[in-house]
Structure 1
Amino acid sequence: MGRRHLLAAVAATIVAVAFLAPHAAGYPWPMCGTTNNFAPNSTFQTNLNRIAATLPNATASSRDLYATARAGTVPEQVWAMALCRSDINATECRTCITQAFVDAQTSCVFFRDATIYYNPCMLHYSDVHILPDDDTGPTTDFHPIINHGNVTSDPERFNEILTALVNATADYAAFNSTKRFATGEADFNQEFPKVYTVAQCPPDQPPERCRKCLAGIIRDTLPAFLGHIGGRVLWVNCTYRFETASFYNGQPIVRLASPSSGAPAPAPAVEEPATSGGGGRKYHVPGVVLAVVLAVLAVFNLLVACLCFWRRRGRTAEAKKPYPKYSTEAEDAEMVESLMIDVSTLRAATGDFNDSNKLGEGGFGALYKGVLPGGEEIAVKRLSDSSKQGDDELKNELALVAKLKHKNLVRLVGVCLDEQERLLVYEYVPNRSLDLILFGSDENDEERREQLDWEQRYRIINGIARGLQYLHEDSQLRVIHRDLKASNILLDANMNPKISDFGLARIFTRDQTQAVTNTIAGTCGYMAPEYVMRGNYSVKSDAFSFGVIVLEIVTGRKNNDSYNSKQSGDLLNTVFEHWDAGTVMELVDPSMKGSFPEGDLLRCFHVGLLCVQGDPAARPMMSSVVMMLGTDTITLHAPSKPGVFARNNGTDMTVSTVSLQG
């Protein structure tokens, strides 16, 4: 584990577990890092003070009562996150976070890493701006202080009730709440005391990561609580708590009632529109109910998509408006400033851009591997003077990537615009891009391709789908990537996919379904036909690109330049013809070693073909794709012919306005 991840784990409070009833302990609970203190009146202190002056208001004014901030440049950069419980108001939240900055610096004097917890809020700051994906709470060597009030009547049944309620509350927080927050209550007609629960994660976490974190701390700590009347686990990435006395505001979202009351336990109350992210299948309901719900959701998505298609022509004028501004120039400038890294730091990190550290080169310039002073490995994108990525695209990529946080999106570390240099600094992704493994020609690539078994390919497909779902539906911004292709899918050390290169991406408002551009920019073979022919782009054009990648992954074949090629046997039509003939399994990549479940492979072929259909309205939303890939209880309709350019009366179709990149 690198120094930055080690400090992240420290900042996440390596033994940050407190299990106390409200009356049994006072606030706050501070947890301090163990190394690397800062000096008084240092640049780090100045950056911390800047964040302390703005983060309380930013948190209180957020819809989710959650905010992050970053100030300064590496290595004196400060990253902070603040989160309030969703059942308190903005004033209480602002007061709590303001006090947290005071108490944290009093309790953890000159520590670069500090976390502090209160009943209604928590604050964490560090020189590390991201926590490891696998940071899901304590697993060993924790020593909880438990509320030692005991349940005296039928403790075994009480423990069953408590376990069911804690897990139901965690399920709802992860899969049914965009705020990643839920409250619960179990009322068993005076057989036992009422039980109240809360579960919460930072709202920018994807559903599966939130539930994984909650599952980890519940698994590791709940056994110590059984038979007792209160306990809690405090962790940066997730938290849960239960008491036999009410401790939250408002009505419970999840309710469990006694079976002996003659009425079944009611379904959780609807706090907000449920998100299907993370696979709603993981919410524990009977199979028949699940099948009905998923079928209804699929029909609803199809109806909404068709309605959008029918209204398309009437909205052409509106669609031609420029994509919306999502922040002011001042905000963007401040954001860019917070990401700045000195050119001297990057020269030292890359050996003055030595060729031995070069990872690759393209139209934009060269990509170099580097190591920052703290030990973090980075990839430095050095834009050349002739780069096709202009200043506008550079600013667009900076503003976008800095605001997007998901494990399946590449992480922006910083930027440098000194000495006529334009440098973008990303996390280092060691296994390079998907296309080099699938389509590379040297011996190393061939060996890596053979090691890319079905489990890895299936995980890559699911990861890309979840990253797109986050961009389209779950992030604070609604982002259309517009240049999704195999070379823009990077693979980390565990072969997990990360979507990269947001230079062509566009922002949509929440009620916007499509837009039109006069300049077509993208990569042949991945662009949807309506985009190339008419300049129309939407979430459905990204879905088309995703479908192409899925078919490339399962076949090991690259899609032809179907827009300007005289070949009729492009990948999409080839797969469709074999699908129609019932021989699609003949197209499975022969280099894929080991066994694989034929049902999963067929489902991927099916989903890929649904995504590349010619009619954009018929293509599924990415939330539906995630469900399709994650369960075999959904019946998929037959795909129609792929949307590719065929020859017209013997003449190749061309689009004179197309400006192709990549």
Structure 2
Amino acid sequence: MHFSIGFLLFLFYLTVPANADQPFHSEDYFYYICDSISTSTGNYTTNSTYQSNLNQLFLALDSNSTSNGFAAGTSGTVPDKVTGIVLCRGDLNASTCSACFSQSFHDILNFCPYYKTALMWYNKCYMYFSSKYFLSSVANSPQVSLMNYYNVTVDPARFDHAVAQLMSQMKSWAINNSTKFFATGEVTNFSTEFTTIYGLVQCTPDMTKSQCQSCLEDLIDHFFEHASGKIGARTIGIHCNIRYETYPFYEGPSMVQIDSTIPSQSAAPTPRPVSVLTPAINKENDNPKTNIENVDSFLIDLSTLKEATLNFNESNKLGEGGFGAVYKGILPNGQEIAVKRLSQNSGQGVKELKNELVLVAKLQHKNLVQVVGVCLEGQEKLLAYEFVPNRSLGTFLFDNERRQELDWRKRKRIINGVARGLQYMHEDCQLTIVHRDLKASNILLGSDMNPKISDFGLARLFQVDQTAHATSRVVGTYGYMAPEYAMHGLYSIKSDVFSFGVLLLEILTGRRNSAVDGEHGEDILSSTWEHWVAGTITDTMDPQLDCPTNEVIRHVQIGLLCVQEDPINRPSMSEVVIMLSSNTISLEAPSKPALYLRRGGSSISQSLSGGRSLQMSQNDISTAQLGAR
């Protein structure tokens, strides 16, 4: 019998029965769970209505499983209603899947007799049924993590990095290139110890792309808490699962292939260079993909938005900036929205509004705010978003009292979520979008403090093979701007990486970058670098932040790597996500950050301020429109 996964650690939400250690009847079977919480689901009896409904469900799932190896459904009515789901591994044919399903129906009744909830996992398929209806939820429980007993003995950090890179690329492939939400992959020419690393990711095909992406990202985010340094591991749930081994465990060729002898692989399935900053200067409107698209399907009547906001009543105002005010509203269907109402003298016009709508409408990710519609009637310019209850990160981070609500766990969730949102924009959504105005006030927080990147009015869409762009109209918020953009009008995805680095350091220190508000005598980059060199980095951290010193140091190092002066030396966001997800992956030593000057020196932040259009030197771009919009 070949059984590679050692039961070193189990993470699941149902109780494992006493007979879980009995011998495996088949080399393909590897785990099962029976719900023995009687107060929750209870047991059924022989010849009962529940048993009859369960048998009918098995027949329906077997006959309804489609060519994508998936079926879900219900049988009977409450209180004897039973819900079930079956999923086959995406590389297998219909006959193999059917045989696996039939075996699971037989085995699950023997291993979990008379249980109203049970789950049987095989290497080829799984079967789950419950007296609780679960099809309307995308929760991935019950869920279990299993890993091999044996450790990688040669350079385990490099091994973890290769696995993380493989997981990221397979996730992107499964979402963008597979109707089954399935992908396999391999890292070749890795080492003499392990020539090849094999991997697999899969979601149930009834999920949306964004749901599958969120499910896989949640698994990958926590994967190395348990799998770090192991030669094989998997995390499996009822909606998505991931796995890697040092031997082939799936059929057919790999969909994703990474040659470990080629450095700096991108985490996207179709790698593209990201750090070249020598493009031909062209006008922004020359790019056909930035042209305004038809927005008719997103139009909302002005009367509807007036009714939703009680005619833009002051009591519904959420905030106000240079562009205008934002109001809370409720649509006739009960959906809560936030309505951006541009002022007549706003710098953001119809072009920017439509640009924001077109871009955001294409983006589907849990860490990006979702657009609801637009209104362009008369003099009104209105954009409706999903309502995010906790307002912006800035309202918490830069308030001495509210900042106490942001403990280390929440700050890490925010950091990781923003990183994943940017990775999606840059590499995973098939569009390549540069935000250009990433800052704390443009990060909205959900009820669970899940971050959502907002305000895409300045965002730009790149051609597939385009790596950077030059503009004569520099817009954004100084202090978050990368130096090549602020001084020369050059922007790329590495410009967003720089902004992310500033934001990360703000989250750690609990204060604004002084290049933004002038509140402190020294900007965050200068202050952080001097403490880094002196070995006193914890002295500059938010005193309200209670967290392990090693985690603080690692996050500061990642932040400093993101704000390197040369864009080539900044990591991509996919690399940042990998750095954040694993503590075993070694980090490069950062060099002096951009715009770093010792105390008493002068800097551009002192000559450009106040959000005004200012004259620069003859060798630079003529004007810069800076400050919050």
Distance 1:644 1:21, change over 3 A: farther
Shift of 1:23: 9.5
User: Which residue matches 1:660?
Assistant: 626
Aligned partner of 1:458 in structure 2 is 412
Kindly provide the CA deviation profile for residues 256-293 of structure 1, in whole angstroms up to 9, marking residues without a partner as x. 9xxxxxx9545775543479xxxxxxxxxxxxxxxx97
C-alpha deviations, 1:332-356, integer Å up to 9, x for none? 22xx211122222211211111111
Is 1:382 matched with 2:336? no
> Matched residues in 2 for 1:636 and 1:506: separation?
30
- Give distance in 2, aligned partners of 1:420 and 1:121: 51
Aligned match for 1:430, one of 381, 386, 389:
389
Instruction: Note the 1:334-353 alignment, pairs <5 A.
Output: 336-353=295-312
**Aligned counterparts, 1:444-483, within 5 A:** 446-483=400-437
2:514 to 541, 557, 560: 560
Q: CA deviation at 1:585?
A: 0.8
Q: Secondary structure at the match of 2:337?
A: strand
What pairs up with 1:31-42 in 2 under 5 angstroms? none
Deviations, residues 97-130 of structure 1 (Å, cap 9, x unaligned): xxxxxxxxxxxxxxxxxxxxxx7999xxxxxxxx
The corresponding residue for 2:122 is 162
Query: In 1, are the aligned partners of 2:526 and 2:596 still within 8 Å (CA)?
Result: no
**Which ranges in structure 1 are unaligned for 5 or more consecutive residues?**
1-14, 29-83, 86-118, 123-139, 185-196, 216-232, 241-252, 257-262, 276-291, 441-445
Report the Cα distance in structure 2 between the residues aligned to 1:255 and 1:596, rounded to whole angstroms.
31
Distance 2:511 2:367 in 1: 23
List aligned pairs for 1:419-568, cutoff 5 A. Answer: 419-440=378-399, 446-561=400-515
Cα distance change on mapping 1:642 and 1:23 into 2, 3 Å: closer
Specify the alignment match of 1:272 in structure 2. 255
Can you list the C-alpha shifts for 1:38-66, whole angstroms capped at 9, x where unaligned? Answer: xxxxxxxxxxxxxxxxxxxxxxxxxxxxx
CA-based RMSD: 4.5
Partner of 1:95: none
Supply the AA of the counterpart residue of 1:179: N
Q: Following TM superposition, by how much is the alpha carbon of 1:300 offset from its aligned partner in structure 2, in angstroms?
A: 3.9
Number of equivalenced pairs: 456
For the pair 1:605 / 2:564, whether they are aligned, the reply is no
Is the Cα contact below 8 Å between 2:394 and 2:441 reproduced in 1?
yes
Match of 1:97 in 2: none
Partner amino acid for 2:528? V
Identify if the C-alpha distance between structure 1 residues 390 and 264 changes in structure 2 by more than 3 Å, giving closer, same or farther: closer
Unpaired runs of at least 5, structure 2: 1-52, 73-79, 87-97, 112-118, 127-143, 146-166, 185-200, 221-236, 609-615, 617-621
Task: Specify whether residues 322 and 477 from structure 1 end up closer, same or farther in structure 2 by C-alpha distance, changes over 3 A only.
Answer: same
| Local SS of the residue matching 1:326 | helix
Task: Spell out, residue by residue over 1:235-259, the C-alpha distance to the aligned partner (whole angstroms, 9 max, x if none).
Answer: 9xx589xxxxxxxxxxxx9999xxx
> In structure 2, what is the Cα distance between the partners aligned to 1:349 and 1:22?
45
Contact 1:488–1:501, Cα closer than 8 Å, also in 2: yes
What code does the residue aligned with 2:585 have? Answer: I
- 3-state SS of the aligned residue for 1:143? strand
> Is 1:205 the equivalent of 2:205?
no
Q: 1:359-374 to 2 correspondence within 5 Å?
A: 359-374=318-333
Q: How does 1:94-493 map to 2 (within 5 A)?
A: 142-144=82-84, 149-150=102-103, 162-163=122-123, 174=171, 177=174, 178-179=176-177, 181-182=181-182, 199-201=203-205, 202=207, 204-205=209-210, 209-211=214-216, 264-266=247-249, 271-273=254-256, 299-300=264-265, 309=275, 312-313=277-278, 316-317=279-280, 322=285, 324-326=287-289, 332-333=293-294, 336-440=295-399, 446-493=400-447
How has the CA–CA distance of structure 1 residues 527 and 214 changed in structure 2, closer, same or farther, with 3 Å as cutoff? closer
CA distance in 1, matches of 2:219, 2:541: 38
1:586 equivalent in structure 2 = 539
Q: Helix, strand or coil for the counterpart of 2:369?
A: coil
Structure with higher helix content: 1
**Does the 8 Å CA contact 2:61/2:85 hold for their aligned counterparts?**
no
Which residue identity is paired with 2:491? Y
2:190 corresponds in structure 1 to none
What SS does the aligned partner of 2:544 have? Answer: coil
Q: Distance in 2 between matches of 1:468 and 1:413?
A: 21
Q: Distance in 1 between matches of 2:560 and 2:251?
A: 36
Task: Note the C-alpha offset of 1:306.
Answer: 12
Match of 1:25 in 2: 63
Name the SS for the 1:317 alignment partner: coil
3-state SS, counterpart of residue 658 of structure 1? strand
Cα distance change of structure 1 residues 475 and 601 upon mapping to structure 2, 3 Å threshold: same
Deviations 1:14-41 (A, max 9, x none): x9x996578953699xxxxxxxxxxxxx
Matches of 1:642 and 1:511, distance apart in 2: 29
What SS does the corresponding residue of 1:512 show, helix, strand or coil?
A: coil
Contact in 2 for aligned 1:529/1:645 (Cα 8 Å):
no
Change in CA separation of 1:121 and 1:179 when aligned onto 2, cut-off 3 Å: farther
In the aligned structure 1, how far is the partner of 2:447 from the partner of 2:353? 27
Give the letter aligned to residue 182 of structure 2.
A
Tell me, in whole angstroms, the C-alpha distance in 2 between the residues paired with 1:453 and 1:254.
Answer: 32
Pick from 518, 524, 527 the counterpart of residue 574 of structure 1: 527
Does the Cα contact within 8 Å between 1:175 and 1:207 map onto a contact in 2?
no
